[in-house]
Structure 1
Amino acid sequence: MKKLGLLIAALAVIVMSACTSTKVTSSWRANDVQQLQKDKKIMVMALVPERDRSLRSLMEDFTVAELRKKGYNAASALREYGPAEFGKMSEKQVLRKLQGSDVSQVMTIVMLDRARERNYVPGTMYQPFGYYGFWPYYSGWYSRMYSPGYYTYNMKYQWEGNLYDLNSGQLLYSVQSQSFDPPTTERMAVLYAQQVVRDMTKQQLLAKR
């Protein structure tokens, strides 16, 4: 009986590990937006804490790569302008600089939250019902009470992506996503880019081919 409980607990951990993923949780598209033109330049700009500059590079690079796979003219703000180009500029200066680079749309990727979660896994998951008899009931609860459990730790990221028309300032598209316990930041960036570009295609902002 104790072995059964431990087996179930182990299977639960395996299932939790298999759920490691990045997925879109919600998205919105303005009603009057037409499909983006492939020759119009999209500037991808990720906003993450300064200590995560390498993550910023990954988020921008892989999103750019996915857009380019579909034939769109996309570029990384970090690679084109450096890490702190817009920090001390006014709105007019930023718009002038982007327009000088023939940018038509800007896609921002913002890390809304990053949290470390702690979850308790009991030593046994077995919970027998009382009508099975005294001993199954007693021994099942005995195992639950006296088998030591343990804690697992997971990282969860919350992301928001917004696509703006540079000339009008209109919000064209917004997408919220979640990354749960990614094995590496590179893998998270790859999955984020794939999921978001797939959703943009589903929302008919991007051509299917």
Structure 2
Amino acid sequence: MKRIGLFIMAIGLLSMAACTSTKLTSSWKTPDARLQEEKKIMVIALVPAKERTLRVQMESNLVSELRKEGYNAVSAYATYGPDDELGKGDEKAALRKFRNSDVDQVMTIAMVDKSRERTFVPGYGGYPYYGGFWPYYRGWYGRMYDPGYYQVNTKYQWDTNLYDLKEKKLIYNAQTDSVDPPTAYRQAYLFAKQIVKDMQKQQLIAKN
């Protein structure tokens, strides 16, 4: 019985892991754009005020990953605190705040959508198998007594932009989706890994 219980628990954990995902959906950069280690990059997450914990995690994890690669990245929240102008989601207002400062580039992480999706999960047995009596019976019995269920997933969509303030232009953009992140930290951690990996792939930053 103990082994059966552990087996069921393992299946449950695998199912949760399967539902949770963070993936890059698109990205691009301007030709020949390269980050320079001496340039200061301000990272700011543009999220609703009630998502402050998520904002802090998104900024700090991306800053950490960029610093690991040798770049001078800083968090807007850690620098300015919970400034209303930065946290209210007004990207243009946030960029104006960095003008005439020692910041060379700004990386914004904007939450463009947060939605809940209801999907159907088939029960045990799936579709009947017509190769013999027993597989058919087992499939029918499983569907009859375990018909499936509906689950609700939370999906986040993020739009990431990297601006060069001196040249006054956008040099990098990436869009990502996160489904059912278990915690704000986990979502931010996986997001930062994805972005830095893509920046390396795009040759915006060099691989260490």
TM-score range, shorter chain: 0.7 to 0.9
* % identical equivalent positions: 57
Which range is displaced more, 106-115 or 145-154? 145-154
Work out whether 1:153 is the aligned partner of 2:152.
yes
Cα offset for 1:41? 0.5
RMSD: 3.0
Residue 3 of structure 1 is matched in structure 2 by none
CA 1:136 to 1:21, structure 2 compared with 1: closer, same or farther past 3 Å?
Answer: closer
Q: Decide which structure has the larger Cα Rg and report it.
A: 1
CA 1:199 to 1:131, structure 2 compared with 1: closer, same or farther past 3 Å?
Answer: closer
Q: What is the TM-score with the length of structure 1 in the denominator?
A: 0.80
In 1: Cα distance, 2:166 partner to 2:91 partner: 12
Q: Which amino acid aligns with 2:70?
A: G
Pairing 1:159-178 to 2, within 5 Å after superposition: 159-178=158-177
CA 1:37 to 1:115, structure 2 compared with 1: closer, same or farther past 3 Å?
Answer: same
Work out whether 1:104 is the aligned partner of 2:104.
yes
Q: Which amino acid aligns with 1:103?
A: V
In 2: Cα distance, 1:174 partner to 1:198 partner: 13
The unaligned stretches of length 5 or more in structure 1 are: 1-6
Question: Is the partner of 1:208 in helix, strand or coil?
Answer: coil
Work out whether 1:116 is the aligned partner of 2:116.
yes
Work out whether 1:132 is the aligned partner of 2:162.
no
Pairing 1:41-56 to 2, within 5 Å after superposition: 41-56=40-55
Preserved contact between residue 129 and residue 139 of structure 2 (Cα < 8 Å): no
Aligned residues: 198
CA 1:202 to 1:83, structure 2 compared with 1: closer, same or farther past 3 Å?
Answer: same
In 1: Cα distance, 2:131 partner to 2:67 partner: 63
Preserved contact between residue 125 and residue 139 of structure 2 (Cα < 8 Å): no
Residue 36 of structure 1 is matched in structure 2 by 35
Question: Is the partner of 2:207 in helix, strand or coil?
Answer: coil
Q: Which has the higher contact order (CA 8 A, sep 6+)?
A: 1
Residue 202 of structure 2 is matched in structure 1 by 203
1:1-33 deviation digits (Å, cap 9, x = unpaired)? xxxxxx9xx969834633522221211011142
Residue 63 of structure 2 is matched in structure 1 by 64
Q: What is the TM-score with the length of structure 2 in the denominator?
A: 0.80
CA 1:92 to 1:15, structure 2 compared with 1: closer, same or farther past 3 Å?
Answer: closer
